[in-house]
């Protein structure tokens, strides 16, 4: 009974399961996407075809991707929005995570609960709540408008504060949505730090902010990278938030893939964009695992 | 003359709990001073108040005539060697040692010289570019020491400096600490729970219990002339007996000890009266065991109940007619002396009146 796990067969099966999962649900679908991206568009169902001409596969979708500035602009918008959201999450999340490590144990549990609490409501519901707040006629918009009009000269007065359907709205909602993904890894890495190291630095003549820069910040880099990737990667491919609150004239890449696939029925083009997006995301992931490996050696 | 460090009526409360109770002491320049006591005796809290990590609830601390009350930890010329060493894991040995110089008003060349001097002092020059996790425990301890000394503190605080080292390394490091102290001339305050560490390192020791200082003195004074049962029991081992003062005779006192069924002579302490209840404390190594009764001085009869032979010495447990047990320690100075007394042998114990410790009950 005790050795059942080590009995030949069982352990192999259990260890193989996650790999099987990865192969069936990631590698095979990804291979299909790569295959589609190399096909040409047809009017058949499914709307793809591999031509009889030579070459057998076609790189025309990739070529178009780099020629048509719709796609390049969409990539640029996505990466800029995701980057700004990541930096804002870091700026807001770092003090919060640091604060979590400095409060009493009871408070820490309550505050951690509050960080995770938004996940208990539907994500869509929360986006709609923001849409309500940002729309022209909401009390929130009127309050902002009145304070603006009160503070600035009369000829700068506005009838409402334009927030909806802009990159501002996208970044705001993404920061709100992804903030916990920044706070939790930051908290995990900051909590591991020995407070005696701070005391040692104080003792050696460093003022509080010097202690932060010299001791706390360099040791929390793995947490910053983990949190940054957990925000940046989903934010760059985000579909729902830009679709609901974003600027339709400057779509993000997730929206472009979705539209190209469903409305335009250009599967090869949509697949090519998806493959490029994935490659773009793999680069920061590799940076992350490089740091992880370095951290593991410590 | 103004003492170098003066702690004046310092107390510390954590809520209702008083960790340090009205401690006053003075420390001279260049001294190695130990705060010795069990866990929770307040020694670490006192050290943290000196470093500036805790604020005294009452009392004042003066260093070189300057009141430290309003001086924050980073501005005190006092550095600490932490028990866990608290080396910065993301910095090399060299960066760790020179960290204290980072915000000092020094030229890069001066910083470099100081680093070289410190690496040399603790013999770590070949390890300058290693990270703390790449060196041994003893080397880490030396990095911590060099880092604390780099800024030339007036006072160095050492929190359990040898506790994390194994036994062999401790002895070596102990002597190294003393020689570095002698070379740099920095005043050391050592916090320790290890009486041997305190005895060998220190010029003077303050024994602490429950937040207050029980006795301050040289290692010899503390060991040979303890002023209370706590100090006598904390440093070395003792066997205690209830006794009554039978007669006073100059600097000697006759004590009636019920467990011995006899009177013995001991060195008197101050403020004794005939009929007073006192405690007689005997250290095992001050007792002599013999088979015959012709011994001089204080002699009591007993029977060997237990004996442990360690080679260079032996420990005996002698049961007295009253049933009380006495520990006696004998050095096996010549061959065969280890077999002087055997189990169940009837023996006589003797001790010099000057060696018997009389303590207030």
The whole-number pLDDT of residue A295 equals: 56
3-state helix, strand, coil in chain A (%, to 5): 75, 0, 25
Fold observed for domain A68-265: MetI-like fold (1.10.3720)
d(CA A265, CA B274): 113
**Three-state DSSP state, A196:** helix
Q: How many helices (H) and strands (E) does chain B have?
A: 8, 20
Nearest CA to CA, how far is A27 from chain B (Å)? 38
Residue A40 has pLDDT above 70, yes or no: yes
Residues of chain B with confidence (pLDDT) below 50: none
**A199 contact B CB<8A:** yes
Q: Which residues of B touch A210 (CB under 8 A)?
A: 102-103
CB B289 within 8 Å of CB B277:
no
Q: Are the beta carbons of A205 and B89 separated by less than 8 Å? A: no
End-to-end CA distance of chain A: 38
CB A227 within 8 Å of CB A183:
yes
The whole-number pLDDT of residue B333 equals: 80
Each residue's pLDDT tens digit, B225-265: 999 999 998 988 899 999 999 999 888 899 999 888 888 89
Q: B68: which residues sit within 8 A by CB, 6+ positions away?
A: B50, B52, B60, B61, B62, B76
d(CA B32, CA A150): 69
CA-to-CA dists, residue B97 to A197, A222, B202, angstroms: 14, 25, 26
The closest CB to that of B100, out of A199, A204, A219, belongs to A204
d(CA B132, CA A200): 15
Lookup: tokens for A240: 């729902």
The whole-number pLDDT of residue B251 equals: 87
Give the number of other CB atoms < 10 A from CB of residue A247. 16
**3-state per-residue secondary structure call for A3-43:** HHCCCCCHHHHHHHHHHHHHHHHHHHHHHHHHHHHCCEECC
Low-confidence winner among A40-44, A59-63, A72-76, B260-264 (lowest mean pLDDT) = A40-44
Each residue's pLDDT tens digit, A212-253: 999 999 999 989 999 999 999 999 989 999 999 998 888 899
The whole-number pLDDT of residue A298 equals: 43
The whole-number pLDDT of residue B168 equals: 85
Residue A284 has pLDDT above 80, yes or no: no
Nearest CA to CA, how far is A94 from chain B (Å)? 20
- H/E element, B128: none
Higher per-residue pLDDT: B263 or A10: B263
Q: Tell the burial category of A116 from Cβ atoms under 10 Å away from its Cβ (0-12, 13-18, 19+).
A: exposed
Q: Are the beta carbons of B80 and A206 separated by less than 8 Å? A: no
Tell how strand B204-209 and strand B187-192 pair up.
Answer: unpaired
The whole-number pLDDT of residue A50 equals: 77
Torsion angles phi and psi, residue A121, rounded to 5: -105, 155
d(CA B127, CA B133): 12
Each residue's pLDDT tens digit, A97-140: 999 999 999 999 999 999 999 989 999 999 999 999 999 889 99
Lookup: tokens for A157: 């007065």
Nearest CA to CA, how far is A244 from chain B (Å)? 45
Residue A170 has pLDDT above 90, yes or no: yes
The closest CB to that of B89, out of A202, A207, A298, belongs to A298
CA-to-CA dists, residue A275 to A243, A257, A278, B104, angstroms: 21, 11, 5, 54
The whole-number pLDDT of residue A14 equals: 83
**Three-state DSSP state, B178:** helix
Identify the residue whose tokens are 């070949």.
B126
Nearest to B149 by CA among B179, B114, B110: B114
Bridge partner residues of B13 (DSSP): B18
d(CA B294, CA B297): 10
What chain B holds in terms of domains, given with CATH numbers, is 5-233 (3.40.50.300), 237-360 (2.40.50.140)
Q: Tell me, what's the ipTM?
A: 0.84
Lookup: tokens for A217: 């910040």
The closest CB to that of B74, out of A202, A214, A298, belongs to A202
The whole-number pLDDT of residue B295 equals: 65
Average pLDDT, chain B: 91
d(CA B251, CA A133): 93
Q: Which residues of B touch A207 (CB under 8 A)?
A: 74, 103
Low-confidence winner among A80-84, A134-138, A253-257, A279-283 (lowest mean pLDDT) = A279-283
Lookup: tokens for B44: 């670490």
Residue A19 has pLDDT above 70, yes or no: yes
**A32 contact B CB<8A:** no
Low-confidence winner among A170-174, A183-187, B163-167 (lowest mean pLDDT) = B163-167
Half-sphere CA count of B338, side-chain side, radius 13 A? 9
Q: Which residues of B touch A200 (CB under 8 A)?
A: 80, 82, 86, 88
Segment A58-85 mean pLDDT: 91
């Amino acid at each position: 009974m005790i050795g059942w796990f080590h009995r030949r067969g069982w352990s192999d099966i259990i260890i193989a399961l996650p790999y099987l999962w990865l192969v069936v649900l990631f590698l095979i679908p990804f291979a299909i996407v790569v295959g589609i991206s190399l096909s040409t568009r047809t009017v058949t169902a499914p709307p793809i075809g591999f031509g009889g001409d030579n070459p057998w596969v076609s790189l025309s979708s990739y070529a178009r991707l780099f020629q048509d500035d719709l796609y390049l602009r969409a990539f640029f918008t996505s990466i800029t929005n995701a980057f700004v959201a990541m930096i804002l999450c870091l700026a807001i999340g770092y003090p919060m995570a640091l604060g979590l490590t400095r409060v009493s144990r009871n408070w820490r549990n309550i505050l951690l609960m509050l960080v995770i609490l938004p996940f208990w409501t539907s994500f869509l519901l929360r986006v709609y709540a923001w849409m309500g707040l940002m729309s022209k006629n909401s009390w929130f918009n009127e309050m902002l408008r009145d304070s603006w009009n009160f503070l600035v000269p009369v000829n700068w007065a506005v009838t409402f504060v334009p927030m909806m359907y802009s990159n501002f709205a996208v970044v705001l909602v993404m920061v709100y949505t992804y903030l916990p993904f920044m706070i939790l890894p930051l908290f995990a890495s900051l909590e591991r730090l020995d407070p005696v190291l701070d005391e040692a630095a104080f003792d050696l003549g460093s003022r509080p902010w010097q202690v932060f820069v010299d001791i706390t910040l360099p040791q929390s880099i793995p947490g910053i990278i983990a949190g940054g990737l957990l925000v940046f990667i989903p934010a760059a491919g985000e579909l729902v938030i830009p679709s609901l609150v974003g600027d339709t004239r400057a779509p993000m890449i997730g929206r472009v893939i979705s539209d190209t696939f469903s409305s335009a029925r250009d599967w090869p083009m949509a697949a090519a964009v998806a493959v490029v997006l994935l490659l773009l995301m793999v680069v920061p992931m590799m940076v992350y695992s490089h740091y992880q490996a370095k951290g593991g050696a410590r | 003359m103004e003492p170098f460090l003066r702690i004046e009526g310092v107390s510390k409360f954590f809520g209702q709990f008083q960790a340090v109770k009205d401690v006053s002491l003075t420390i001279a320049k260049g001294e190695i001073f130990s705060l010795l006591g069990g866990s929770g005796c307040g020694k670490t809290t006192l050290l943290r108040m000196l470093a500036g990590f805790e604020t005294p609830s009452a009392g004042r601390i003066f260093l070189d005539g300057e009141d430290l009350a309003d001086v924050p930890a980073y501005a005190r010329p006092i550095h600490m060697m932490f028990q866990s060493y608290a080396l910065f894991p993301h910095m090399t040995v060299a960066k760790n040692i020179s960290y204290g110089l980072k915000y000092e008003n020094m030229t890069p060349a001066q910083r470099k010289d100081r680093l070289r001097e410190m690496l040399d002092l603790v013999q770590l020059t070949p390890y300058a570019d290693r990270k703390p996790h790449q060196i041994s425990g003893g080397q880490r301890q030396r990095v911590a020491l060099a880092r604390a000394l780099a800024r030339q503190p007036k006072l160095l605080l050492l929190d359990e400096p040898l506790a994390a080292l194994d036994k062999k390394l401790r002895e070596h490091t102990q002597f190294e600490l003393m020689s570095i102290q002698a070379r740099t001339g920095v005043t050391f305050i050592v916090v320790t729970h290890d009486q041997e560490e305190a005895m060998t390192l220190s010029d003077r020791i303050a024994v602490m219990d429950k937040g207050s200082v029980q006795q301050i003195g040289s290692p010899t004074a503390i060991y040979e002339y303890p002023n209370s049962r706590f100090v006598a029991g904390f440093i070395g081992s003792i066997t205690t007996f209830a006794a009554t003062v039978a007669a006073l005779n100059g600097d000697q006192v006759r004590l009636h000890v019920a467990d011995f069924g006899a009177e013995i002579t001991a060195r008197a302490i101050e403020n004794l009266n005939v009929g007073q209840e006192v405690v007689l404390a005997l250290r095992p190594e001050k007792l002599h065991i013999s088979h015959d009764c012709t011994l001089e001085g204080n002699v009591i009869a007993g029977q060997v109940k237990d004996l442990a032979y360690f080679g260079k010495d032996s420990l005996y447990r002698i049961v007295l007619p009253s049933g009380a047990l006495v520990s006696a320690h004998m050095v096996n100075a010549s061959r065969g002396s280890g077999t002087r007394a055997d189990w169940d042998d009837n023996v006589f114990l003797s001790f010099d009146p000057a060696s018997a410790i009389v303590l207030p009950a």
